[in-house]
Chain A
């Protein structure tokens, strides 16, 4: 099985690579359309800012490529946000795989939402064997509004969707690569889809 991590100007590529390696999967990190298109599984990571990440993807025509993928793809953190329709961060039009709005947390508590928080109402293959109210590690200032594609729910200041799924597209707002046993289980589940 070939797993490709999409390489772009975002952090956590190395962390995702390491997490897969711990599962004995040697992933390929690439921004080559040919390599990404031929993968069995694709991971779309991301830490950083939405508009510059989108600009980078468009420049390399990776935006169309990602939208057109038919193999299972997992977006992580900023990856999830970019798979949505629109982000309030720098007023950014995103990939629109999920017709969902990404908003900034209101400043009623500390932002970013940083640390371990519970995920619940878990559904689908991604969360198979993951207990309700498991803890996952989050670092983000923007969130996907609760929506019909949610396969998990979480709460920080507001209710939001920490994981979404539609067809072959999966995404988590938290970092499975940093979420201890819960994250290991989730990545394993994704690899088995």
Chain B
């Protein structure tokens, strides 16, 4: 049976350091390559590396880092952060990334999704949606959640699928950082209505939250950062817990 996927997310600055990580068994704290390999070893199903650098130098360093990650990892990984053109995509895929995630640039220019899907295949296009529930609607935000848009998550996700997105990475800004659990309702709504996988993100705090997002939220995959980085929930323990609760995971 196809498994539910557990995906740690790493924030990368200047192509070398990982933000906010305190991970056991890592010689050089903050080395993304070593950290990625450690997660793969622990049973992470995929990884996401997010470039949080704003400078050109940082962006070039990120592409170099992607090459190193690709040389090391034997599981799939997605890269994202500031991707705004087919040239960016081409550079990162050639460096060895399996998928790229796009966010703000796709909202500003939705045709970008069509072009990337056509040139590189839908399987590598992850559309990231940052959304906040406000006045009964899931409004889409861009620029790292700073700028509200006129779009709403269900419609935007549907349009993205029609344009060729292969996966949706859905982050609820209401839940992100709270450790109170994932946004189950919107995750379920998208997962049920869309013909492509939905990765839930934002709010993971306990093992039970993962169980909930896979059952009540009907997510295909769940992404988290800090609870993994600080060893609060070791991936093998999480998978064992999910397995015992009859969720299909790769052990």
User: Which residues of A are interface residues toward B (Cβ below 8 A)?
Assistant: 11, 14-15, 18-19, 21-22, 47-49, 107, 110-118, 135, 137, 139, 155-156, 175, 177-181, 183-184
Among B74, B93, B123, point to the contact of A22 (Cβ < 8 A). B74
Interface of B is mostly: loop
A15 B123 Cβ-Cβ under 8 A: no
The interface residues of chain B lying within 8 Å CB-to-CB of A156 are 2
Asked if B121 contacts A180 (CB within 8 A), the reply is no
Decide: B166 and A18 in contact? CB cutoff 8 A: no
Q: Which residue of B lies closest to A22 (CB)?
A: B74
Q: Does B40 make an interface contact (CB < 8 A)?
A: yes
* B221 contacts chain A at the CB level, 8 A cutoff: yes
CA distance A15 to B1 in the complex (A): 25
CA distance in complex: A22, B1 (Å): 29
B250 CB within 8 Å of chain A: yes
B residues with a Cβ closer than 8 A to A are: 1-3, 5, 40, 45, 70-72, 74-76, 93-96, 98, 120-124, 166-167, 194-197, 220-221, 250
- CB of B45 within 8 A of CB of A178, answer no
Residues of A within 8 A of B75 (CB): 137, 178-180
Given contacts A18-B71, A110-B197, A139-B123, contact A116 B250 (CB under 8 A): yes
Q: Are B3 and A117 in contact (CB under 8 A)?
A: yes
Query: Is A115 a contact partner of B195 (Cβ separation < 8 A)?
Result: no
- A113 contact set on B, CB distance < 8 A: 2
Q: Smallest Cβ distance from A55 to chain B, in angstroms?
A: 16
* 22 CB-based A-B contacts, threshold 8 Å: A14-B70, A14-B96, A15-B70, A15-B98, A18-B96, A19-B74, A22-B72, A110-B194, A110-B195, A112-B122, A113-B2, A114-B197, A115-B220, A115-B221, A116-B5, A117-B1, A117-B2, A139-B76, A177-B74, A178-B98, A179-B75, A180-B74
The closest CB in chain A to the CB of B123 belongs to A139
- Chain B: minimal CB distance from A132 (Å): 14
Contact A110 B220 (CB under 8 A): yes
Partner of A137, one of B71, B76, B96: B76
A21:B71 contact, CB within 8 angstroms: yes
Say whether B121 contacts A47, CB under 8 Å: yes
Task: Name the 4 nearest CB pairs between A and B, nearest first.
Answer: A135-B250, A116-B250, A116-B3, A117-B2
Q: Nearest Cβ distance between residue B117 and chain A, in whole angstroms?
A: 11
How far is B52's CA from A58's CA once the two chains are assembled, in angstroms? 43
A114 touching B167, Cβ below 8 Å: yes
Beyond the given A110-B220, A112-B166, A178-B75, could you list 19 further A-B residue pairs with CB under 8 A, ordered by the A residue number? A11-B93, A11-B121, A11-B124, A15-B70, A22-B71, A47-B121, A47-B123, A47-B124, A48-B121, A110-B197, A114-B123, A115-B2, A115-B3, A117-B1, A117-B2, A137-B75, A175-B76, A179-B75, A180-B75
Q: Which of chain B's residues have a CB closer than 8 A to the CB of A181? A: 74
Chain B: minimal CB distance from A56 (Å): 15
Nearest CB of chain A from residue B46's CB, rounded to whole Å:
8
Q: Which B residue's beta carbon lies closest to that of A156?
A: B2
Nearest Cβ on chain B to A142's Cβ, whole angstroms: 12
A21–B45 CA distance with the chains assembled, in angstroms = 22
